[in-house]
Amino acid sequence: MATDQKSQKIRVGPLKASELKEADRIVRLAFGTFLGMPDPMAFMEDRDFLRPRHRSKNVKALAAWDGKRLIGSNFVTRWGCFGFFGPLTVLPEYWDHGVAQKLLEATMGVFDKWGIRHTGLFTFASSAKHVGLYQKFGYWPQHLTAVMVRTPEANPARMPDLLSALIKAEREEVIVAAAKLTHRISKGLDLTAEMRSVLAQKTGDVVLERRRGVLNGFAICMTGAGSEGGKKICYIKFGAARDGKAAETHFGRLLDGCEAYAALKGAVVEAGTNLARGEAFRHMRSRGYRVTTQGVAMQRPNTEGFNRTNCWVIDDWR
Ligand SMILES: CC(C)(COP(=O)(O)OP(=O)(O)OC[C@H]1O[C@@H](n2cnc3c(N)ncnc32)[C@H](O)[C@@H]1OP(=O)(O)O)[C@@H](O)C(=O)NCCC(=O)NCCS
């Protein structure tokens, strides 16, 4: 591990709300620089991954400082008994001095405190540095995750069924049913906090796929100013369809709902899935989703988790 002078004075702790503006600048500068963008600050345009996460109860935001100067951050997310982290960024002038490793030590501490053993991340498959960095912390590279985009039909055939439109009692019932649905996919996987957060912050909605009172799918969609999707994108942060014989039908109808919601918002749909979920990936490709970015999923321990065949799940862990 790097123990040069620069790394010895680095401190790590909780990121304060007053530091979000600078953290956001570092995120754009770091990714934009790594990707060789002519204007690094244009990275992710109007999308905001930090403020909504900082306000979410299931997310811990970590900062790295050199003295009082903010030089990096990481966001640690909990979905029940599964956790992931990112965006992890370090100010470019501090790269290769062990700052990310200090943030990652603290990140592992957060998972330990939460009692979470199954965690993952999404990173650049072609970068030996990225893959090597995470391997140091016990992560192993697995299948690619493809992030895809589709422009929805302008006039959807039906209105989307939205969680925000339900009365409180019904909403609570749906949230419980969603946790049961994900629990069947992976024991303890729970998106309850993420669902509540998107509604409370009005950073999108949860699209539902229900038939005869049964919840067969749901998708947490983030869109609009100040959200993870921004004004032009309806980003499906997580979506899942009920497993079983009719899974593909549920999944297709769920995507119909997401596309209808995106059309109402004047946005394109962005949705990712891991390629180990072959059926879900092929279904999305066949309905016109085009891959715009791909990265590799790394997991600790090196097990398939819910990245496996017959898993009708949308997520990318960015
Ligand atoms: C990726 C990033 C966070 C790393 O931050 P950093 O502070 O430079 O990383 P560190 O110095 O703590 O760790 C670098 C480690 O990478 C690993 N590494 C570097 N080059 C490597 C190579 N060629 N092969 C294998 N491992 C390599 C090593 O483990 C190295 O640590 P060591 O030399 O002490 O053993 C930073 O470069 C960044 O902000 N990049 C842009 C945004 C980004 O890509 N974020 C991550 C997205 S998943």
The full set of domains in the chain, from first to last, is: 5-116 (3.40.630.30), 148-314 (3.40.630.30)
Decide: 120 in ligand 1 pocket, CB within 6 A: no
Gyration radius of the chain over CA positions: 19
Q: Which single residue is written with the structure tokens 């019932």?
A: 173
The pLDDT of residue 1: 45
Q: How far is the CA of 51 from the centre of ligand 1 (A)?
A: 25
pLDDT digits (tens, 9 = 90+) for 69-101: 999 999 999 999 999 999 999 999 999 999 999
**The pLDDT of residue 245 is above 60:** yes
Question: Is the beta carbon of 101 within 6 A of some atom in ligand 1?
Answer: yes
Grade residue 9 by pLDDT with cuts at 50, 70 and 90: confident
**Atom number, ligand 1, closest to the C-alpha of residue 124:** 48
pLDDT at residue 228 greater than cutoff 70 = yes
What is the C-alpha to C-alpha distance for residues 232 and 223, in angstroms, rounded to an integer?
8
Q: What's the whole-number mean pLDDT along residues 61-74?
A: 98
**Which of 29, 133, 136, 296 has the most ligand 1 atoms within 8 A of CB, as the residue to mutate?**
133
Q: What is the pTM of this model?
A: 0.97
Separation CA 316–CA 233 (nearest Å): 15
pLDDT exceeds cutoff 70 at 55: yes
Dihedral sign for Cα atoms in the order 241, 247, 248, 252: negative
pLDDT digits (tens, 9 = 90+) for 100-126: 999 999 999 999 999 999 999 999 999
pLDDT in tens, 157-206: 889 999 999 999 999 999 999 999 999 999 999 999 999 999 999 999 99
- For the range 102-106, what are the long-range contacts, defined as Cβ-Cβ under 8 Å and sequence gap of 24 or more? 102/7, 102/10, 102/12, 102/64, 103/12, 103/62, 103/64, 103/72, 103/73, 103/74, 104/74, 104/133, 104/134, 104/136, 104/137, 105/12, 106/12, 106/13, 106/62, 106/74
The reported pLDDT for the residue numbered 5 is: 65
**Which tens digits make up the pLDDT trace of 142-153?**
999 999 999 999
Rounded mean pLDDT, 6-29: 93
Question: Does the CB atom of residue 86 touch ligand 1 within 6 A?
Answer: yes
| Cα(129) to centroid(ligand 1), Å | 5
Residue nearest to atom 46 of ligand 1 (CA): 88
Give the pLDDT of residue 206: 99
Please write the tens of the pLDDT for every residue from 251-290: 999 999 999 999 999 999 999 999 999 999 999 999 999 9
Average pLDDT over residues 207-224: 98
